[in-house]
Structure 1
Amino acid sequence: MVPTHARERKDSFPKPHSTETPTMTAPELDDRIETKMRSAGVPTPTITAFLNALHKVASGERGMLPESVVEPVSSLPRLDSLEGGGQGGIALLKQLAIIKLNGGLGTGMGLDRTKSLIAVKGQDTFLDFVARQVLHLRGASGCREPAFYLMNSFVTRRETLDYIRKYPDLWDENTIDFLQNRVPRINAKTFEPLSWPAQPELEWCPPGHGDFYPALLGSGLLDGLLRRGVKFLFISNSDNLGATIDLKLLRYFAQSGLSFLMEVAERTASDRKGGHLASRRTSGRLLLRESAQCPKADEGHFQNIERHRFFNTNNLWIRLDHLKVELDRHGGALPLPLITNTKTADPRDPKTPEVLQLESAMGAAIECFEHTGAIVVPRARFSPVKNSADLLALRSDAYRVTEDFRLVLDESRRGQPPVVELDPVHYKVFADFEQCFARGAPSLVACEALKISGKVGFEGGVVCQGKVEFCNPLPEPKMVGAGLYRDSSVRL
Structure 2
Amino acid sequence: MSADGLAQAQNKMRDAGVAPAAIDVFTHYYGELEAGATGLVLEDTIEPLLDPDKLADVEISDDAAAAAIQKTAVIKLNGGLGTSMGMDKAKSLLPVRDGKSFLDIIAAQVLHAREAYGARLPLVLMNSFRTQDDSLEALAAHRGIEVEGLPLDFLQNREPKIRVDDLTPVDWPADPSLEWCPPGHGDIYTALLSSGVLDALLDAGFLYASVSNSDNLGAVPNAQIAGWFAQSGAPYAAELCPRTPADRKGGHLAIRKADGQLILRDTAQTAPEEMDYFTDEFRHPFFHTNNLWFDLVAIKKALTERGAVLGLPLIRNEKTVDPTDGTSPKVYQLESAMGAAIEVFEGATAIVVGRERFLPVKTTNDLLLLRSDAYELGDDAGLRLAVEKAPLIDLDSKHYKTVSAFDAHFPHGAPSLKAATSLTVKGDWSFGENVTVTGDASLADEGEPRTLGDGSTLAG
Instruction: Calculate the TM-score normalised by the size of structure 1.
Output: 0.90
Q: Deviations over 1:262-294 (max 9, x none)?
A: 001111112222321101001100001111111
Q: Which moved more, 1:82-91 or 1:246-255?
A: 82-91
SS of the residue corresponding to residue 298 of structure 1 reads: helix
Q: Deviations over 1:109-134 (max 9, x none)?
A: 22222111111112111111100111
SS of the residue corresponding to residue 418 of structure 2 reads: strand
Q: Deviations over 1:76-131 (max 9, x none)?
A: 11011112454332232321110011111122222222111111112111111100
Opposite residue 186 of structure 1, the aligned amino acid is I
Asked if structure 2 preserves the Cα contact closer than 8 Å seen for 1:90 and 1:140, the reply is: no
Identity %: 43
Match in the other structure for 1:160: 135
Match in the other structure for 1:425: 398
Matched, 1:476 2:449: yes
- Aligned equivalents of 2:324, 2:58: Cα separation in 1: 51
Match in the other structure for 1:372: 348
Match in the other structure for 1:408: 384
1:154–1:73 CA distance, 2 compared to 1 (3 A):
same
Opposite residue 433 of structure 1, the aligned amino acid is F
What is the Cα deviation at residue 480 of structure 1? 3.4
Match in the other structure for 1:444: 417
SS of the residue corresponding to residue 87 of structure 1 reads: helix
Which of 37, 47, 72 is the aligned partner of 1:61? Answer: 37
SS of the residue corresponding to residue 399 of structure 2 reads: coil
Opposite residue 115 of structure 1, the aligned amino acid is K
Matched, 1:398 2:341: no
SS of the residue corresponding to residue 134 of structure 1 reads: helix
Instruction: Calculate the TM-score normalised by the size of structure 2.
Output: 0.96
- Aligned equivalents of 2:152, 2:444: Cα separation in 1: 47
Match in the other structure for 1:17: none
- Aligned equivalents of 1:449, 1:433: Cα separation in 2: 18
What is the Cα deviation at residue 161 of structure 1? 1.1
Match in the other structure for 1:117: 93
Which of 4, 22, 26 is the aligned partner of 1:46? Answer: 22
1:379–1:97 CA distance, 2 compared to 1 (3 A):
same
- Aligned equivalents of 1:437, 1:297: Cα separation in 2: 41
The answer for unaligned runs of 5 or more in structure 2 is: none
Matched, 1:184 2:160: yes
Map residues 89-104 of structure 1 onto 2, 5 A cutoff: 89-104=65-80
What is the Cα deviation at residue 245 of structure 1? 1.8
SS of the residue corresponding to residue 53 of structure 2 reads: coil
Matched, 1:148 2:123: yes
Which of 50, 56, 59 is the aligned partner of 1:74? Answer: 50
SS of the residue corresponding to residue 435 of structure 1 reads: helix
What is the Cα deviation at residue 475 of structure 1? 2.0
Opposite residue 443 of structure 2, the aligned amino acid is F
- Aligned equivalents of 2:17, 2:189: Cα separation in 1: 17
Matched, 1:198 2:174: yes
- Aligned equivalents of 1:443, 1:352: Cα separation in 2: 44
Asked if structure 2 preserves the Cα contact closer than 8 Å seen for 1:456 and 1:480, the reply is: no
What is the Cα deviation at residue 472 of structure 1? 4.4
Match in the other structure for 1:383: 359
Opposite residue 364 of structure 1, the aligned amino acid is A
Opposite residue 147 of structure 1, the aligned amino acid is P
Which of 320, 323, 337 is the aligned partner of 2:299? Answer: 323
Question: RMSD of the alignment, in Å?
Answer: 1.6
SS of the residue corresponding to residue 333 of structure 2 reads: strand
Asked if structure 2 preserves the Cα contact closer than 8 Å seen for 1:87 and 1:248, the reply is: no
SS of the residue corresponding to residue 400 of structure 2 reads: coil
Match in the other structure for 1:453: 426
Asked if structure 2 preserves the Cα contact closer than 8 Å seen for 1:242 and 1:380, the reply is: yes
Match in the other structure for 2:242: 266
Which of 164, 169, 182 is the aligned partner of 2:144? Answer: 169
Match in the other structure for 1:31: 7
Q: Which moved more, 1:379-388 or 1:294-303?
A: 294-303
Match in the other structure for 2:260: 284
Asked if structure 1 preserves the Cα contact closer than 8 Å seen for 2:364 and 2:402, the reply is: no
Which of 201, 210, 225 is the aligned partner of 1:225? Answer: 201
Q: Deviations over 1:173-199 (max 9, x none)?
A: 971000111110112222211122232
Which of 212, 231, 235 is the aligned partner of 1:255? Answer: 231
Asked if structure 2 preserves the Cα contact closer than 8 Å seen for 1:472 and 1:478, the reply is: no
Count of aligned pairs between the two proteins: 459
SS of the residue corresponding to residue 288 of structure 1 reads: strand
Asked if structure 2 preserves the Cα contact closer than 8 Å seen for 1:262 and 1:315, the reply is: yes
- Aligned equivalents of 1:250, 1:347: Cα separation in 2: 40
Q: Deviations over 1:311-366 (max 9, x none)?
A: 11000001000011111111112110011011222333333322111111000000
Structure number with bigger Rg: 1
Q: Deviations over 1:386-421 (max 9, x none)?
A: 1111111111111001111101101xx22x211111
Q: Deviations over 1:24-59 (max 9, x none)?
A: xx2x44333222112212112211111100101101
1:175–1:124 CA distance, 2 compared to 1 (3 A):
same
Q: Which moved more, 1:33-42 or 1:320-329?
A: 33-42
SS of the residue corresponding to residue 73 of structure 2 reads: strand
Asked if structure 1 preserves the Cα contact closer than 8 Å seen for 2:95 and 2:102, the reply is: yes
Q: Which moved more, 1:173-182 or 1:310-319?
A: 173-182
Opposite residue 164 of structure 1, the aligned amino acid is L
Match in the other structure for 1:21: none
Opposite residue 401 of structure 1, the aligned amino acid is L
The answer for unaligned runs of 5 or more in structure 1 is: 1-11, 14-25, 488-492
Asked if structure 2 preserves the Cα contact closer than 8 Å seen for 1:420 and 1:451, the reply is: yes
Opposite residue 99 of structure 2, the aligned amino acid is Q
SS of the residue corresponding to residue 289 of structure 2 reads: strand
Asked if structure 2 preserves the Cα contact closer than 8 Å seen for 1:184 and 1:205, the reply is: yes
Asked if structure 1 preserves the Cα contact closer than 8 Å seen for 2:70 and 2:118, the reply is: no
